[in-house]
């Protein structure tokens, strides 16, 4: 059995793991990057969407321009809520990009290896090495042979079904089962996508009744087109996902025209039993990054951006070299990620406050200043819970009720209860972060 030693072993070589490895290696760490799959390869569960803050991290990693050179930017986003349309424009230099995962992960893996990282794909972690209660390495199977790799820190970047999380027993402390299934395929973009005035947008989200549909433009001149039905409708999807996806997309005039004369490339992809969660992210000799520690509603298209931001901040915490710095990173991760987690929970629920959403969409369409605040949310400059000022919310609700739209009253009360629950959770996470920072301050004074 062979044994090698590193400063950090990262399990999972996709966007979170490869980005983290790059930043650590550039700071002088000896890093081993492992993955059970052959790399690079496509990742089936991904919207591919990267918002501007994620692109900033890719620029720091040295691959941002490579992504931009092969992937069209999305600056115009259209939302359709029960027929109410809302278009918003992102700044010219702050667009969304949706590269296929084989391309994105491959670029990050090349950057990591260029920084001195050793990458071993087709390598399965079977157990963790422990000494005095602390993780200090991994035992693996490589080409049918057992290898041990020791390290001061083992990081799980291996996705929502993380092997590292399972082996360390990382507990979930906040989570819920996804109320929807999701199916999607890749179609060649027809000429009308670029020429027809009806498609004056680059990305599309539709919430019509209990259904959600989405369009993302990706590389190779293809469109990812998805439909997300309530979980109680999954049996007919499972029976024939290709036919059922086409039928669902044909029910929306926007998506119907895009798929009319073509078939999706390859098989239709689907996911049924998803869970969105927060897990403990650090322990003695280990950490979790990206979906391994936190997974949120796909509709937000935020998973890659979240993973990249976590990778950059975790690299800084690891560089400090203390368990306390890792604990502070974990608590900070929760504070930063919770608002969008709760927004995703609301957005993905089949039982939506439909009348309330229409009222707010109408207000946003009339007020450019409010639209600018929503764009700031996408750019992570503003919390989604701060995007709509309370006085304007109350004014919109009052005006709607006076016009006889009484359904907004119980809907806003329901949203208020959700907001209070979210606020309690966010206050708790802020308190835990403050406690961690206070302990670190005491430790520094005692040193």
Domain boundary among 290, 316, 344: 344
Domain-embedded: residue 146: yes
Q: Are residues 20 and 169 in the same domain?
A: yes
Residues 162 and 13 in one domain: yes
For 359, residues 6+ apart whose C-beta sits below 8 A from its C-beta are 396, 397, 400, 405, 408
Residue among 76, 128, 161 at smallest CA distance from 286? 128
CA Rg, the chain, in Å?
A: 23
Which run of H or of E encompasses 149?
strand 145-156
Evaluate whether 11 touches 125 at the Cβ level (below 8 Å): yes
In sequence order, the 6+-apart residues with CB closer than 8 A to the CB of 172 are 277, 278, 279
Q: Please indicate, yes or no, whether residues 147 and 17 belong to a single structural domain of this protein.
A: yes
Assign residue 129 the CATH number of its domain. Answer: 3.50.50.60
Q: How many domains in the chain? A: 3
Q: Are residues 36 and 124 in the same domain?
A: yes
pTM of the model: 0.95
- pLDDT in the model for residue 2: 66
List CB contacts of 243: < 8 A, sequence separation 6 or more. Answer: none
DSSP 13-30: -SHHHHHHHHHHHHTT--
Please report whether residue 58 resides in a domain: no
**216, 256: one domain:** yes
370 and 340 co-located in one domain: no
Decide which of 344, 366, 390 is a domain's last residue.
Answer: 344
Does residue 22 belong to any structural domain of this protein? yes
Low-confidence ranges of the chain (pLDDT < 70): 1-2, 43-44
How far CA 411 is from CA of 102, 116, 164, 179, 240, in Å, comes to 42, 55, 41, 19, 36
Domain boundary among 297, 320, 344: 344
Element (H, E) at 207: strand 203-208
14 and 106 inside one domain: yes
Q: Which of these, 181, 263, 253, 182, lies nearest to 223 by C-alpha position? A: 263
Query: Do 54 and 308 contact (CB within 8 A), yes or no?
Result: yes
State the residue range of the domain holding 368.
Answer: 353-424
In a domain, 433, yes or no: no
Q: Is residue 436 part of a domain?
A: no
Let me know if residue 387 belongs to a domain: yes
> Are residues 124 and 220 part of one domain?
no
Residues 255 and 122 in one domain: no
> Alpha carbon 110 to chain centroid distance?
22
Residues 22 and 120 in one domain: yes
Domain CATH code at residue 90: 3.30.9.100
**236 inside domain:** yes
What is the per-residue pLDDT for 394?
87
- The pLDDT of residue 337 is 97
pLDDT tens readout for residues 10-41: 999 999 999 999 999 999 999 999 999 999 88
320 plus 247 within the same structural domain: no
State whether 88 and 219 are in the same domain.
yes
Q: Is position 443 within any domain?
A: no
């Amino acid at each position: 059995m062979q044994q090698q030693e590193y400063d950090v072993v990262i399990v999972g070589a996709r966007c979170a793991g490869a980005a983290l490895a790059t930043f650590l290696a550039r700071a002088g760490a000896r890093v081993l990057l492992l993955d059970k799959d052959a790399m690079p390869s496509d990742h089936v569960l991904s919207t591919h969407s990267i918002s501007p803050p994620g692109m900033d991290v890719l620029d720091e990693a040295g691959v941002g321009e490579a992504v931009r050179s092969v992937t069209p930017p999305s600056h115009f986003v259209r939302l359709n809520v029960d027929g109410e349309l809302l278009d918003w424009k992102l700044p010219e230099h702050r667009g969304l990009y949706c590269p296929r995962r084989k391309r994105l992960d491959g670029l990050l893996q090349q950057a990591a290896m260029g920084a001195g990282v050793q990458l071993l794909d087709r390598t399965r972690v079977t157990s963790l090495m422990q000494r005095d209660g602390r993780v200090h390495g991994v035992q693996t199977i490589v080409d049918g042979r057992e290898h041990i790799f020791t390290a001061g820190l083992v990081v799980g970047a291996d996705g929502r079904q993380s092997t590292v999380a399972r082996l360390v027993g990382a507990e979930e402390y906040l989570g819920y089962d996804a109320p929807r299934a999701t199916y999607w395929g890749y179609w060649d973009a027809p000429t009308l996508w670029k020429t027809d005035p009806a498609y004056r947008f680059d990305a599309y989200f539709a919430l019509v009744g209990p259904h959600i549909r989405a369009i993302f433009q990706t590389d190779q001149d293809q469109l990812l087109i998805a439909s997300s039905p309530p979980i109680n409708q999954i049996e007919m999807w499972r029976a024939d996902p290709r036919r059922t996806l086409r039928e669902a997309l044909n029910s929306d005039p926007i998506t119907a025209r895009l798929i009319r004369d073509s078939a999706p490339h390859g098989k239709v992809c689907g996911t049924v039993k998803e869970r969105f969660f927060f897990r403990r992210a650090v322990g003695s000799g280990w950490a979790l990054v990206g979906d391994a520690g936190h997974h949120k509603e796909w509709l937000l298209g935020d998973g890659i951006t979240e993973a990249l931001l976590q990778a950059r901040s975790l690299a800084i915490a690891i560089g400090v070299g203390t368990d306390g710095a890792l604990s502070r990173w974990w608590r900070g991760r929760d504070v930063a990620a919770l608002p969008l987690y709760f927004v995703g929970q609301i957005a993905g629920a089949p039982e939506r406050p439909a009348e309330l959403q229409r009222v707010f969409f109408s207000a946003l369409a009339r007020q450019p200043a409010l639209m600018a605040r929503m764009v700031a949310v996408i750019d992570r400059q503003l919390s989604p819970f701060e995007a709509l000022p309370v006085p304007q919310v109350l004014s919109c609700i009052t005006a709607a009720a006076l016009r006889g739209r009484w359904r907004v009253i119980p809907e806003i009360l329901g949203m208020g209860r959700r907001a209070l629950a979210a606020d309690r959770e966010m206050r708790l996470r802020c308190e835990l972060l403050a406690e961690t920072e206070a302990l670190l301050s005491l430790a520094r004074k005692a040193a």
